[in-house]
């Protein structure tokens, strides 16, 4: 891989032409820091400049541009590429051909293929890989330019005032030399002999009107992806995997680890795969990635960045990615690439493309039909060269690191994009395997769900989508917005239409990013390379029509889908029980230990409990929790439900991680404020689903004291229990969860120092795993409410701290050698911005939002 620049049919003097090309090529030298080379034709009017990153055949025989001497004249070509089937082409199409310079470079075959096949579609369709290529035939003076099917290798082209043609890996090398320029379209070839741009890549699944009907074949999907990953391990340089801990990157790492154990032709033979992650300290992706790396046994590197470091990088980042889109996600990738290069890594594999191919973004929950689902996956996939692929290519290349994306493998796309889209549709109420809901990318998950030979634990395989810019930490996105609000004055904002008449920014963040972009790229040509249109949670503009409430929206974060994935400020990081996986792995199994956890909202009436469950004298129902012999811990939730306790009140010993999403449609929409307040006092604890299987949810994110209707995430609370508890039913008055804080002495608040087991919990206020520290526990003392400005937890002083008390069953004595507070990593939380009621040793009292609470009550 490299940076290429070709300036053809120049009108100046040979010396002036060379100077201008060298100056332009230097602007993209970061793409190829290992070597530079220039070739100029005898007449001085055409020049190739090459900035090399040594990946395949680092010797001089791999040096470009390649020059094939022929009696009729030279054939010259330069290529930014990884041709994964180059050895097969040598053995078949080029059998007996002496490769130029005896090079082992994958790029060396192109000129010989041109000699045999010509410049048409046959040549480019024979290549399995990624490329941006320029070929000059000096015998005829004609040139040919082509780009890979998905546009993974960046390429731009433009025209000079003298009529010259310019081609470069990055547009910064063209903007001073060309009067106009644009990106070169993926899957196309241009021939100067015809003057036409021809589309050579024509997948049937992308044709208008095509509706896939192929039956689902999980084996084909699994084997196709394995092949896609394995071929991308081709390298004579160190390689690694970018690991976020989400499904996509984790599958890449899992397949790579398996293959490298048997690999014979890669740099990493007999070495552990390196994996890298980055985020704001405490971000959900960091903990999830750590868990996956531990499971796979990789050599894992975790890096943190601060909001200020991200802000400091904005100007350089936008210069390198040449866009004001994708900035949120590009900044952490850019910062990580620098650390990766410092450790000597030149190649990384990443998980881009899976969400487009399988409909993994959360807005796909709203797809109105399989037909619309497929159309949107096609739009997303075919436009990736302006979005995630652009970021994945240019952000790492800022430091000379090449990125490869196996999910966009051509053969794999043909397999997955021809599957009946009904198989990709999302239905959280549907559990085809009896265990997991049909969440996004379900068929990809099932393809690798092999219990007898697991690639990943269920906690990762069924982790819900978390967009990279969100997963690295919401503080980053929030900090970027706050920074824009500070720098973009109201006067500036009011005049936005006059300053930016074309594609006017829709918010201050985009105003700021657009301003920085135009500092580097002021031309209309540069602006036109950036995609336009509204988006909701990374949708295309066309998908906005799926939901009338999205009209006029422009929020690319997954937090825009609050009703699909609980993404409230400070709470919206869902790791679908990936977080407890890491903590659980560090704790010894101890079947003898049995705990009774009195969690928030567990104070339900005896009548509401499962019939076989005896009620305690004080009217609470104990939840018996036991660790299995395998040491498996209770998992957290999925989708927009907060982490929950998964327990069985009927007395079963083993507890497994479960996740469910019930239909919230039976919640009473017409509850008024007075009814809500009454419900909170009179019917405490009636929150959650069937208590025989699930404990009440810990996170409601109630925006106001008495806003109990279908608003915000409260509308998504599970249906309530009826008074008998025999079945799930609607409840006329949704009630608010009650916290049960029990002191060591009656009528006194709990002093952590009085009870070692309780002290170990330290209160664990808050709800979500993004705020857990390295030991998977929230920091902070339960008795002290956080200050409103405490951004480290994203919660304010009105947050109710739910305290869980660990007790041994009656008649048992504590084991002095047992680990202290073994369940601290999944202590139930209750998150309410404005608690309605609090139960302290049975004494209920309403808590108003404006009422200052005592430390014990807070």
Residues 6+ apart with CB under 8 A from 706: 673, 674, 676, 677, 836
Distance CA 145, CA 124 (A): 10
Beta carbons of 757 and 829 less than 8 angstroms apart:
no
Beta carbons of 163 and 179 less than 8 angstroms apart:
no
CA 310 to the chain's CA centroid: 18
Question: DSSP readout, 86-108?
Answer: HHHHHHTTTTT---GGG---GGG
* Phi, psi (rounded to 5 degrees) for 303: -125, 145
Q: How many CB atoms lie within 10 A of CB 541?
A: 14
Taking the alpha carbons at both ends of the chain, their separation in whole angstroms is 58
Helix (H) or strand (E) holding 296: helix 284-296
Q: Kindly give the residue spans of alpha helices, DSSP state H, lying in 750-795.
A: 756-761
- DSSP bridge pairs for 165: 8, 159
In 500-644 the beta strands, taken as DSSP E runs, fall at 594-598, 623-626
Catalytic residues: 2
Left if phi > 0, otherwise alpha if psi is -120 to 50, otherwise beta: which for 10?
beta
CA distances from 574 to 456, 458, 657 (A): 18, 15, 14
Q: Kindly give the residue spans of alpha helices, DSSP state H, lying in 417-473.
A: 442-447, 458-461, 468-471
Q: How many CB atoms lie within 10 A of CB 17?
A: 21
Q: Is 675 exposed, middle or buried (0-12, 13-18, 19+ CB in 10 A)?
A: middle
Residues 6+ apart with CB under 8 A from 505: 496, 511, 514
Distance CA 762, CA 292 (A): 27
Hey, what's the torsion of the CAs at 768, 771, 772, 778, to 10 degrees? -90
Distance CA 374, CA 403 (A): 27
Q: Give me the residue label for tokens 């306790």.
A: 645
């Amino acid at each position: 891989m490299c940076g290429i620049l070709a300036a053809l049919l120049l009108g100046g003097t040979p010396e002036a032409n060379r100077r201008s090309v060298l100056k332009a090529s230097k602007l993209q030298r970061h793409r190829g820091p290992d070597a530079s080379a220039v070739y100029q034709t005898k007449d001085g009017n055409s020049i190739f400049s090459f900035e090399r990153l040594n990946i395949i055949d680092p010797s001089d025989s791999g040096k470009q541009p390649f020059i094939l001497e022929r009696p009729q004249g030279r054939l010259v070509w330069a290529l930014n590429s990884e041709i994964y089937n180059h050895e097969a082409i040598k053995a078949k199409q080029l059998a007996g051909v002496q490769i130029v310079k005896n090079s082992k470079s994958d790029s060396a075959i192109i000129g010989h293929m041109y000699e045999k096949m010509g410049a048409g579609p046959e040549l480019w369709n024979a290549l399995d890989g990624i490329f941006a290529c320029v070929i000059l035939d000096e015998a005829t003076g004609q040139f040919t330019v082509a780009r890979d099917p998905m546009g993974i290798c960046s390429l731009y082209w433009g025209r000079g005032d003298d009529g010259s043609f310019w081609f470069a890996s990055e547009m910064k090398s063209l903007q001073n030399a060309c009067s106009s320029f644009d990106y070169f379209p993926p899957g196309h070839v241009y021939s100067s002999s015809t003057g036409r741009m021809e589309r050579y890549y024509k997948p049937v699944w992308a044709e208008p009107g095509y509706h896939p009907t192929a039956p689902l074949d999980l084996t084909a999907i699994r084997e196709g992806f394995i092949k896609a990953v394995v071929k991308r391990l081709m390298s004579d340089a160190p390689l690694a995997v970018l690991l976020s801990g989400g499904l996509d990157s984790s599958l890449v790492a899992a397949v790579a680890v398996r293959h490298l154990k048997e690999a014979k032709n890669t740099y990493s033979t007999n070495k552990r795969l390196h994996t890298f992650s980055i985020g704001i300290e405490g971000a959900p992706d960091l903990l999830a990635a750590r868990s996956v790396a531990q499971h796979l046994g990789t050599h894992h590197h975790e890096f943190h960045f601060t909001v200020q470091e991200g802000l400091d990088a904005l100007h350089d980042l936008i210069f390198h990615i040449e866009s004001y889109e994708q900035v949120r996600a590009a900044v952490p990738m850019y910062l990580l690439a620098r650390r990766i290069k410092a450790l000597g890594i030149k190649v990384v594999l990443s998980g881009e493309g899976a969400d487009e191919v399988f409909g993994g973004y959360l807005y796909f929950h709203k797809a109105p039909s399989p037909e619309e689902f497929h159309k949107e996956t096609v739009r997303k996939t075919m436009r990736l060269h302006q979005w995630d692929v652009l970021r994945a290519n240019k952000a790492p290349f800022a430091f000379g690191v090449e990125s490869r994306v196996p999910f966009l493998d051509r053969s794999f796309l043909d397999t997955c994009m021809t599957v009946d889209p009904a198989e990709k549709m999302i239905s959280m109420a549907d559990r085809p395997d009896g265990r997991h809901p049909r969440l996004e990318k379900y068929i990809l998950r099932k393809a690798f769900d092999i219990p007898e030979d697991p690639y990943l634990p269920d906690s990762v395989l069924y982790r819900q989508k978390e967009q990279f810019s969100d997963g690295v930490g919401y503080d980053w996105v929030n900090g970027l917005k706050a920074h824009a609000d500070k720098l973009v004055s109201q006067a500036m904002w009011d005049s936005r239409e006059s300053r930016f008449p074309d594609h006017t920014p829709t918010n201050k963040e985009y105003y700021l990013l657009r301003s920085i972009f135009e500092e580097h790229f002021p031309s209309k040509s540069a602006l036109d390379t950036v995609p336009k249109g509204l988006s909701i949670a990374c949708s295309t503009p066309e998908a906005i029509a799926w939901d009338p409430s999205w009209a006029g929206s422009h929020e690319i974060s997954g937090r825009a889908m609050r009703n699909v994935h609980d993404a409230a400020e400070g709470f919206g990081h869902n790791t679908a029980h990936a977080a407890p996986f890491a903590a659980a792995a560090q704790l010894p199994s101890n079947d003898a230990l049995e705990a009774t956890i009195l969690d928030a909202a567990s104070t339900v009436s005896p009548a509401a409990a499962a019939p076989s469950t005896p009620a305690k004298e004080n009217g609470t129902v104990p939840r018996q929790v036991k660790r299995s012999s395998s040491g498996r811990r209770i998992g957290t939730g999925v989708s927009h439900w907060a982490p929950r306790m998964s327990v069985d009140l009927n007395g079963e010993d083993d507890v497994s991680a479960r996740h469910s999403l019930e239909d919230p449609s039976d919640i009473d929409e017409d509850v008024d404020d007075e009814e809500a307040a009454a419900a909170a006092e009179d019917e405490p604890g009636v929150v959650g689903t069937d208590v025989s299987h699930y404990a009440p949810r810990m996170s409601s994110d109630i925006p106001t004291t008495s806003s109990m209707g279908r608003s915000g995430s409260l509308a998504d609370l599970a249906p309530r229990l009826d008074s008998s508890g025999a079945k799930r039913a609607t409840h006329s008055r949704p009630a608010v969860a009650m916290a049960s804080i029990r002191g060591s002495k009656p009528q006194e608040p709990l002093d952590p120092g009085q009870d070692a087991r309780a002290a170990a919990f330290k209160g664990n206020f808050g709800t979500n795993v993004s705020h857990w520290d390295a030991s998977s526990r929230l920091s902070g003392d339960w008795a002290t409410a956080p200050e409103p400005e405490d951004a480290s937890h994203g919660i304010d002083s009105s947050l109710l701290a739910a305290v869980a008390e660990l007790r041994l069953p009656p008649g048992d004595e504590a084991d002095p050698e047992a680990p202290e507070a073994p369940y601290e990593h999944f202590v139930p939380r209750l998150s309410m911005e404005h608690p309605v009621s609090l139960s302290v040793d049975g004494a209920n009292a309403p808590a108003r939002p404006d009422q200052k609470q005592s430390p014990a009550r807070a």
